[in-house]
Structures are given as C-alpha cells and as structure tokens.
Amino acid sequence: KRGAGKIEEAEPWNKLLLPASSLPTDPALYVGPFPFYRRPSELGCFSLDAQRQYHGDARALRYYCPPPTNGQSPNFDLRDGYPDRYRPRDEEVQERLDHLLCWVLEHRGRLEGGPGWLAGAIVTWRGHLTKLLTTPYERQEGWQLAASRFQGTLYLSEVETPAARVQRLTRPPVLQELMYMGYKFEQYMCADKPGGSTDPSGEVNTNVAFCSVLRSRLGNHPLLFSGEVDCIDPQAPTTQPPTCYVELKTSKEMHSPGQRKSFYRRKLLKWWAQSFLPGVPNVVAGFRNPEGFVCSLKTFRTMEMFEYVRNDRDGWNPSVCMNFCAAFLSFAQDTVVQDDPRLVYLFSWEPGSPVTVSEHRDAPHAFLPTWYVEAMTQ
Ligand code: A3P
Ligand code: MG
Ligand code: MG
C-alpha cells in the first residue's frame, strides 16, 4: 500500500515537468461549451495553374453559376469526359506545406497583427484542421501530422499513413471515377468569369486550384491556414471573402430515412468541419443517381448543419470537434518546445487509440524546405 501511495504522489510532479505522451480522442472527454473561434478573415490568396505552378493571385478562382431555376431539374452527367478529358494531379508528389510557405514568405513583412504575430501562430492547411475536427467521430481512417517549430511558429504538415498510401495505390476504378465526378460537378456549376457561362466540354484538370489564406484563432492559438475554395458567388449579399465563397459537393441521392440519417451523421460532419473553419457560409450539394447524373441541388447553410443531428444520440457535436482540436493544438505546442526546423515531432492517430508522438530529425520527416528556412533567416 505504501508503495502504491508513493507512485501516486510522484505523478503530479512528473506531469508538471514532462509534456503528456499521448492525447485521448474519446468524444465524451471533449463535451463542454463551444471554445472561442475568431471569425476567419482572408489575408490573401494564391492559385495553382494547370501545371501545378504557384501564382500569388486569384487567376484560378471560378464563379458560381447555378443552372436557371425555371422549374426544370438539372441533368448533369458526371461521367461525361471520363477518362479522356481527365488530367488528374500526380498524387505521388508530396507537396507538404510548400505552396502555403511560398505565400507566407512573400507576405511575411506585411502580415496584419503586427510584427511578431506569425511567431505566435500555427501554420497549416485547412484540410489538416478538418481531420482534427472530425477525429473524435472518425472510425475508419487514421492520420499522421508532422510538427516543427521555427522562429516561434508551429508548422503542421500531414504525412500520408502507410495504410492511406496502400489505399491510394490500389484505388479501385469505380473510386477513381467517383473522384473525377466530384470535380466534374464543379465544372457544371462554375464559370471562368463573373457573369460568364459554364463549359462542360473542356478538360477536368485537378492541378488547378484557388486557395484562400485565412487568419483565425482557436482558444489561445492564433492560426494561419489555407484552404482550396471551389468558387465565389458574385451574387452573394456581401462580396467580402470568405462570406462570398461557396463549397460544392456531390453525394448519393437518398431515398430512405436510414440513408438520410447516415448522411447527416457522416457526410454533414465532414462538410461542416471543412467549411466552418474558413467561414464559408454555404455548401451546394448535387445529388447523383446510380447512373451518375445530378438531378437535384440543395444548399446547406454551414451554421445550420448541426441542426440535423442535434437530437440524434449518435450524432456529432461541433463543441466536441473544436474542443478536441484546441486540446490537440495545446498538446502539440507543449510537445514541440525546441525551435529547430530540422526537428520533427510526428503525431500519429488510429481510430480507437489515443494520439501518440515520436521524435525525428531530418529526412524523411523534416518538411520545412531549405529555400524557406534560408529566406526567413535573412
Ligand atoms: P465531392 O466531395 O463532391 O465528391 P472538395 O469537395 O473538397 O472541393 O473536393 C472536390 C472533389 O475532390 C471531391 O468531390 C472528390 O471527388 C475529390 N476528393 C476530395 N477529397 C477526397 C478524398 N479524401 N478522397 C477522394 N476524393 C476526394
Ligand atoms: Mg474544392
Ligand atoms: Mg468541393
């Protein structure tokens, strides 16, 4: 008994000096009030062209152009052009944070928040934060996030898990076509110019992307993150980004209450997390039939998505998502103490387990490029 007491007494001392070695993800642990989340503001943007080249402007931004609402339903053939008019991005290329770092480097001298703001911030992709938000409810796919501290800033960059790599390399043809169909829907819904018309006859090139760079803060964690934006609505009540942006999504047509319930529990959670983070107010869904045609559209307001699961015992809770994300960011801040761009902490998570961490130096996990470190050190 005395021995056990000794261990218990030693524990708080241990906790004060050493960062936690793992972080649980059970939703019940994160129930509570919604944490502070600063209204996201757009700091800037950049574009990637058909060759995946970076441009510090909005050239790849497209304009929301829904079909006329004259009583007729749409009839978008999402399989049209596959595979002959499909130019998929090379997924073997691991871009990590590179394009975002390019933007940061270009704007570091004139960031709002004043000098020193960046040193206290977390820099990452919106998509990485989306995965953190949905973690307490995710039962299928794990993740790995690499973290380095450099000039005070904490950088987070996803690492493809071995399982995800196998899945990608053995992706069945139906799933490859389904991926194409998501992008094809964008082509039916967007014009290249404001007031222009759509042109579904062209190629679908997934190298092209428009990215918004946003500032926010979760709890006491200032955030600088970037996310791909599908289009801007020139008719939106306000033309101020990100409020004028629209996220486009496709989903299977639903015919039973069970299908609807599962859509609200799984898909709406992902749609909410992805659009809530950058403050994109509307998600326009195209529902496809088994033949791959979109025959109906529905706009979901990001801020109302939770209502579909509010009274569902097996639904999701935005507070849990945000509280877990805040807890993870604190865990990462406490773990990555040394300021060293060559030092990497790899956070790993598999469903049913806590987040664990391991320490690495240089290749293959170091992700802050020499060109960035050297230019920032000037
Ligand atoms: P849908 O989600 O409408 O099917 P986004 O919706 O984020 O703008 O992404 C556009 C499309 O890219 C998606 O359209 C989907 O086809 C594809 N995509 C995005 N994330 C994916 C993922 N994790 N796995 C497979 N395809 C993905
Ligand atoms: Mg997109
Ligand atoms: Mg989309």
pLDDT digits (tens, 9 = 90+) for 323-356: 999 999 999 999 999 999 999 999 999 999 999 9
Mean pLDDT in residue range 142-170: 98
Question: How confident is the model at residue 6, as a pLDDT?
Answer: 44
Instruction: Kindly indicate the confidence band of residue 13, based on its pLDDT and cuts at 50, 70 and 90.
Output: low
- Pocket test of ligand 1: the residue of 183, 267, 280 to mutate, having most ligand atoms within 8 Å of its CB, is 183
- Pocket test of ligand 1: the residue of 140, 171, 249 to mutate, having most ligand atoms within 8 Å of its CB, is 249
Give ipTM to 2 decimals. 0.98
Which residue's CA is the closest to the ligand 1 atom numbered 21? 179
Mean pLDDT in residue range 309-333: 99
Pair of tokens at residue 9? 């007494």
Residue 358 scores a pLDDT above 90: yes
Residue 88 scores a pLDDT above 80: yes
Q: Is the CB of 179 under 6 A from ligand 1?
A: yes
Residue 115 scores a pLDDT above 90: no
Whose tokens are 């018309």? That residue is 197
Question: How confident is the model at residue 2, as a pLDDT?
Answer: 38
Q: Is the CB of 249 under 6 A from ligand 1?
A: yes
CB distance 286 to 77 below 8 Å? no
Residue 4 scores a pLDDT above 50: no
Beta strand residue intervals within 137-208, DSSP E: 143-150, 153-159, 190-191, 204-205
Question: How confident is the model at residue 1, as a pLDDT?
Answer: 34
Residue 5 scores a pLDDT above 60: no
Question: How confident is the model at residue 7, as a pLDDT?
Answer: 44
Instruction: Kindly indicate the confidence band of residue 19, based on its pLDDT and cuts at 50, 70 and 90.
Output: confident
Share the mean pLDDT of the chain. 96
Tell me the CA–centroid distance for residue 181 and ligand 1, in Å. Answer: 9
Mean pLDDT in residue range 134-146: 99
| 61-70, 107-116, 229-238, 294-303: range with lowest mean pLDDT | 107-116
Note every long-range contact of 185-189, with CB atoms under 8 Å and residues 24 or more positions apart, other chains counting.
185/76, 185/78, 185/248, 185/249, 185/250, 185/286, 185/294, 186/62, 186/230, 186/231, 186/248, 188/67, 188/74, 188/76, 188/78, 188/286, 188/294, 189/64, 189/65, 189/66, 189/231, 189/248, 189/284, 189/286
Mean pLDDT in residue range 28-47: 98
Question: How confident is the model at residue 298, as a pLDDT?
Answer: 98
User: SS3 for 297?
Assistant: strand
Tell me the CA–centroid distance for residue 179 and ligand 1, in Å. Answer: 6
| 110-124, 156-170, 251-265: range with lowest mean pLDDT | 110-124
Handedness of CA 198, 296, 273, 89 (dihedral sign): negative
Mean pLDDT in residue range 110-118: 91
Q: Which one is predicted more confidently, 18 or 232? A: 232
Mean pLDDT in residue range 95-111: 98
Atom of ligand 1 nearest to the CA of 127: 7
Mean pLDDT in residue range 43-54: 99
- Pocket test of ligand 1: the residue of 141, 165, 178, 179 to mutate, having most ligand atoms within 8 Å of its CB, is 179
Mean pLDDT in residue range 143-160: 99
Residue 3 scores a pLDDT above 60: no
| 4-18, 20-34, 71-85, 205-219: range with lowest mean pLDDT | 4-18
Cβ count within 10 A of residue 115: 10
Q: Can you tell me the distance from the alpha carbon of 226 to that of 98, in angstroms, rounded to the nearest whole number? A: 12
